[in-house]
Chains A and B, each alone.
Chain A
Amino acid sequence: MDFISIKNNQRIKFAEIPVLAYADFFNVVTNQLMEKPEAHCVSYFGIPAENNVQLLCCIADDASASINVLSSVVSKTDTLQSITAKYMSFHLFEREIHENFGINFDGHPWLKPVRYPYNAADKSQTMVNYPFYQIDSEELHEVGVGPIHAGIIEPGHFRFICNGEQILHLEIQLGYQHRGLETLMIEKKKLLQRATLAENITGDTTVGHSVAFANAWESLCGFTADKQLQMERAFAIENERIAIHTGDLSGICTDIAYQLGNSVFGRLRTPVINYFQRWAGNRFAKGLIRPGKTNFPFTNDLAAQWKEMISAYKPHFVEMAEQTFDLPSVLSRIERTGIVSPAVAHQIGMVGMAARASNIVRDIRASHPFGHYANIDYKPVLEPVGDVYCRARIRYDEILRSIDMMNDILSTMPYDHKPATTLDKAEPNSFVVSLVEGWRGEICHCAITGPDGDLTHYKVKDPSFHNWLGLALAVRNNEISDFPICNKSFDLSYSGHDL
């Protein structure tokens, strides 16, 4: 076999992953696995293998709900044929492998640094000498923004090349948020420490990432969450989606100076995140998701509180959203602004809400469902054009869809809590891929255990890893004054990218 087909959260022996010579690996990826339109790379990374590097590639096939995994052992001094030359969606994965190990890729347009990790192969690269793309012209000018931005947001640097007011090119330099998270996932030995790290990958997706971690670790330990726990987790994921989508609609209104929308959506977010505080004592649900157990069993009283909260939220939310999407002054700013066409979105491998706003059916809840999602038939929401309007509108529709799903969960929840299970040791020498559809999109965690059943490698991929390029392309030929709404319409994670 050239690859092994596994399911989301299916544990396999690490040795079962086929190891191919790179030329064959390249062939299988480019000529076989990536050929299908439903195929996309969910993770591609290297791990040290004695003096060499083992490359692991996980390509999801949405049509068959399987993830095809294959690997190749290469030398750090090798120059490999770039997959990016054929499939652009690999560009950042190859850059990351180059940055971490020094491996060169022939045919890659630019192997620039990704996040300047403390353990980079080439330590001479520093934040201040990033090799920005430049155009020599007397007609053009550059605009540099960040790392510190005007609002209260995470740091990152945006370098625009503009022709007058028009953006010709945007390059995004990240890495300011690098905390060495993947190393800490291995070095911290307590499960609680690792669960805490997972919560902090990006604090705006606490539930999404900590469910991805819980699923991965539980699978490695041979534990299957019971129906009640699965439903509680899906409920939490959807509540997080409603909260952040609502906050983002407020942010988009802010960026077009529509103060009523800013104010109303902003206050509507409050009861939704306060609900997490009612449930688990923290507005961002930190502490809620724990492998093998929950500290905050869901109760009838919590169900009643949510229903009361959401029945007050929904009519005001719908009223505000209908007004927003009906106002000519709003529409003139967001329609046909920041377009990522479906073809481009597919080419660069966009995921999640932003991909669906470009008419791409890509939603883990439907394609690689786990837990509660495996028991329902979720139909993703799509928007046709891929402009700011579509990325805003899809939030409105997804919120309504999530409310329906959560109502269904509450009507079938068994309230049957099992005692906590201690999950200290995992199955040795194993591998698992854990996919979760967070509010932003596809979260992928890959975990590998060693001979003693402890983690030896942990790879995190936030959906932002795919989508930052989408933002860079969306703003081309737009006015630079429209950059903020384009940026907010994606609302990508810096910390989730920089790790």
Chain B
Amino acid sequence: MIFDNMKILIHQGKQFIPDVKTTDVPGVFRGRPVISNAPCDEKSLIDLCPTGAISGSPLRIDLGRCTFCGECAFACPEKIKFTKDYKMGSNIRENLIVTEGNDSPILVDADKVRAEIRRIYGRSLKLREVSAAGDNSCEWELNATSNVNFDMGRFGIDFVASPRHADGIVVTGPISKNMAEALEICFDATPDPKLLILAGVDAISGGIFADSPALDRSFLANHKVDLYIPGNPVHPLAFINGVLSLLGR
């Protein structure tokens, strides 16, 4: 029996991604889009977008509202192209807006990161995840950050079972009315200083559910967000890189 287990381990081999900052993702992943200066019918693109993420003059895509469906790139491929750049996290909400003719990476603004975050959590960060009406795709992806492939634990970053053990809260989902109070209590139960991270389009803007009367997003009006990580769902590499750059690593 032990030999069977050893055989499985040998077959398993080394599965971890050696460098999560530079690794190439397979296939045609839709990450940070780039908008060229090519002419296009702005209005048709604005009308096309299911979540109102596109605005005009100059043409912009708000990755906090984008569902990454890619329809705009199909409609106008010479204008909009989704690249495989998965580093899309920022502490500044406006940095998530991609503008026509500007192909620069999305960055964390180090000057605006609270000093104690990097000082206290630079080498070890424990997070508590709260799904507030998330559709279980972001949740699966956040679980995947800890699997043997992505192995976020190697950076001292882990998800923990209780807000009492946590240094911050990661929110997924558009925050339903029915979950608003539980989220507030959970955040309150986390000791200071604490981080607040929004993962995925639903958490950042409400996504396709933004106008729903069943949501209550007042939690976000009352607390400062430290990091926004776009995606639908958030890709494990987007999450890991977002947190690492927040910590200045």
Residue pair B134, A117 in contact (C-beta under 8 Å): no
Q: Which of A109-167 contact B (CB under 8 A)?
A: 115-119, 127-128, 147-148, 150-155
How many chain A residues have a CB neighbour from B under 8 Å?
66
Measured CA separation A495–B202 after assembly (Å) = 13
Contact A176 B176 (CB under 8 A): yes
Interface residues of B in 1-18 (CB under 8 A from A): 1, 4-5, 7-9, 11-12, 15
Selected interface stretch from B62-70, B87-95, B99-107, B240-248 = B62-70
Task: Tell me which residues across on chain B come within 8 A of A175, comparing CB atoms.
Answer: 178
Contact with B along A473-498 (1 / 0, CB 8 A): 00000000000000000000111001
Interface membership of B138, Cβ < 8 A: yes
Residue of B nearest to A250 (CB): B147
CB distance from B137 to the nearest CB of A (A): 3
Q: How many A-B residue pairs have CB under 8 A?
A: 201
B129 near A281 with CB under 8 A, answer: no
- A267 to B147, Cβ gap below 8 A? yes
Say whether B39 faces chain A, with CB atoms less than 8 Å apart: no
Interface membership of B214, Cβ < 8 A: yes
* Contact (A495, B133) CB under 8 Å given A118-B213, A155-B179: yes
Q: Is B130 an interface position by the 8 A CB rule?
A: yes
Closest to A180 in B: B214
Instruction: Verify if A278 is at the interface (C-beta below 8 Å from B).
Output: yes
A323 contacts the other chain (CB 8 A): yes
Q: How far is the CB of B232 from the nearest CB of chain A, in Å?
A: 6
**Residue among A178, A202, A320 making CB contact with B178, cutoff 8 Å:** A178
Selecting from A32-40, A283-291, A410-418, the interface stretch reads A283-291
Binding-face segment, B25-33, B109-117, B221-229:
B25-33
In the bound complex, CA of A264 to CA of B144 (Å): 13
Q: Is A10 an interface residue (CB 8 A)?
A: no
Residue count of chain B within 8 Å CB distance of chain A = 68
B27 and A279 within 8 A (CB): yes
Identify which of A179, A196, A267, A270 contacts B12 (C-beta below 8 A): A267
Contact B133 A196 (CB under 8 A): no
A206 and B137 contacting across the interface, CB-CB below 8 Å = yes
Per-residue interface assignment for chain A, residues 98 to 113, with 1 indicating a CB less than 8 Å from any chain B CB and 0 otherwise: 0000000000000000
Q: Mark A445-478, 1 if CB is under 8 A from B, else 0.
A: 0000000000000000000000000000000000
Q: Cβ of A282 < 8 Å from any Cβ of B?
A: yes
Which residue in B159, B174, B207, B235 is a CB contact (below 8 Å) of A152?
B159
**Does A52 lie at the interface of the complex (its beta carbon under 8 Å from any beta carbon of B)?**
no
Q: Does A82 contact B (CB under 8 A)?
A: no
* Residue A441 lies at the interface, judged by CB distance under 8 Å to chain B: no
- Asked if A177 contacts B133 (CB within 8 A), the reply is yes
B140/A203 in contact, CB under 8 A: yes
Which of B70, B129, B215 contacts A287, CB < 8 Å? Answer: B70
A–B complex contacts, Cβ < 8 Å, 8 sampled = A154-B134, A179-B133, A188-B208, A203-B140, A204-B140, A264-B8, A280-B28, A286-B67
- By a beta-carbon cutoff of 8 Å, the part of chain B in contact with chain A is 1, 4-5, 7-9, 11-12, 15, 25-30, 48, 50-51, 67-71, 74, 82, 129-144, 147-149, 159, 161-162, 173-174, 176-179, 181-182, 186, 202, 207-209, 211-215, 232-233, 235
